[in-house]
A and B are shown apart, each in its own frame.
Chain A
């Protein structure tokens, strides 16, 4: 093989490499922008979903609450028969339209939806954090850093956090394990 041919091959290989790195950096930068939009998308879904879920769960629970309230009032009375006579038709209606009281199911569904929603927001942030890290690593590691510097790529911030604020410190109060009171 002659020398010019070898040179041409080397130049072609280097050119293809630079092109590949440049394209991967540009597409990563675009994906970072897209993932920021995705976080907004998930937040919007959450903002629309949660109030609606709350209203429908409340509406569902309210008629059960009335029945339970009346039952407990009846228990407190010395002669509950009058109250029960008043309550019975209502109970029948409930039993006919709805064979069992399903308040627990409604709450479980609501909690499932709430967890899923906050997971979706959390995971959309994770995507941003991960691809920002991938991008920033390419900017500082050799040999991709050479291409990045040549074309003036700047590092991306990812998820923005205040760098010197309270969350970096642990207070006396936070050392203790929280107790749950129900």
Chain B
């Protein structure tokens, strides 16, 4: 039996620990790779100049997708605006839970798809959108829908879109730097006095190892953050509705529903309440778990059951 407040707090704490670890890892890795690059071209560098350059490039690329994230994603997913008469439950539930969470009512959209799923996006609560499929709206009752919408509104209230965008910028930074180093050692001629300095050779070796490993490690941490935010959104949803049973039974129904969502793809998968790409669950075990955007449904249900 976990108190819902404690559960929200502990999820926040754990997710900040992962985020802090992630930022430190990105800093160390990118400086090491940048030093390797500098060593390769034979000049002395603290590594910070190149890191800064890569950060700017990665930032600009991600900023565009971040600022326009809602329109881009809603465009991809082919959604229509929700309407109070047609989508009475969805509309009123979203209205009520925004009231409880103290948020402005987000823009509401419906995707015509029989798969059961929902997602939230937008850079801050004032520009947020929540989207649900017609399959979800048809198969859930009001209590279950409250659990799901509570989860999505918690993503909005916790600024998860903003957080994941920053994380994506940092993963992009490492990937860019690593790419530069690997490409130049592969194609380039290198500096004139490559073997003359032992220090440089060591930096180059460390840089190369980091260039190969750190994009993968960074992605694994990014997915760990994504999974932690899912647990946090589940707990915050229960904090709003005080009915874990609603979310539990909604998640169970979505677990039984085997249909993949046609509008979803790998780039938008982390936004949904359950993984929309259901057919990719072939590999089992701890290792494949590292590469999931969502924690397994059975774990989420177990945690929720401890709250009820």
Contact = CB atoms under 8 A, between A and B. Distances in A.
B142 interface: yes
Given A115-B142, A116-B92, A123 B102 contact: no
Interface in B234-258: 239-240, 242
A112 B99 contact: no
Contacts of A115: 142
A66 B240 CA distance: 45
Of listed A35, A119, A131, residue having the most chain B CB within 10 A: A119
Interface in A16-40: 31, 35, 38
Interface residues of B, number: 14
A138 to B, nearest CB: 14
Interface string B59-92: 0000000000000000000000000000011001
A114 B32 CA distance: 63
Interface in B209-249: 239-240, 242
Interface of B: 88-89, 92, 95-97, 99-102, 142, 239-240, 242
Contacts of A127: 99-102
Contacts of B242: 126
Contact of A116 (B96, B100, B101, B239): B96
Nearest to A41: B99
Contacts of B100: 123-124, 126-127, 130
Contacts, number: 33
Given A31-B102, A112-B88, A131-B102, A123 B142 contact: no
Nearest to B95: A120
Contacts of B102: 31, 35, 127, 130-131
B244 to A, nearest CB: 15
A109 to B, nearest CB: 9
Please classify the interface of chain B as helix (H, G, I), strand (E, B), loop, or mixed, using the class held by over half of its residues. helix
Given A115-B142, A126-B240, A38 B99 contact: yes
27 contacts: A31-B102, A35-B102, A38-B99, A42-B99, A112-B88, A115-B142, A116-B92, A116-B96, A119-B92, A119-B96, A120-B99, A123-B96, A123-B97, A123-B99, A123-B100, A123-B240, A124-B99, A124-B100, A126-B100, A126-B240, A126-B242, A127-B99, A127-B100, A127-B102, A130-B102, A130-B239, A131-B102
Contacts of B240: 123, 126
Q: Which 5 A-B pairs have the closest CB atoms?
A: A123-B100, A116-B92, A126-B100, A123-B96, A123-B99
A31 B101 CA distance: 12
B38 to A, nearest CB: 29
Nearest to A116: B92
A123 to B, nearest CB: 4
Given A112-B88, A115-B142, A119-B92, 20 more contacts: A31-B102, A112-B92, A116-B92, A119-B96, A120-B95, A120-B96, A120-B99, A123-B96, A123-B97, A123-B99, A123-B100, A123-B240, A124-B100, A126-B240, A126-B242, A127-B100, A127-B101, A127-B102, A130-B100, A130-B239
B179 to A, nearest CB: 39
Contacts of A35: 102
Contacts of B99: 38, 42, 120, 123-124, 127
Contacts of B95: 120
A120 B97 CA distance: 8
Contacts of A126: 100, 240, 242
Contacts of B92: 112, 116, 119
A42 B240 CA distance: 18
A112 B142 CA distance: 10
B235 to A, nearest CB: 14
B225 to A, nearest CB: 25
Interface string A130-158: 11000000000000000000000000000
Contacts of A131: 102
B153 to A, nearest CB: 11
B102 to A, nearest CB: 5
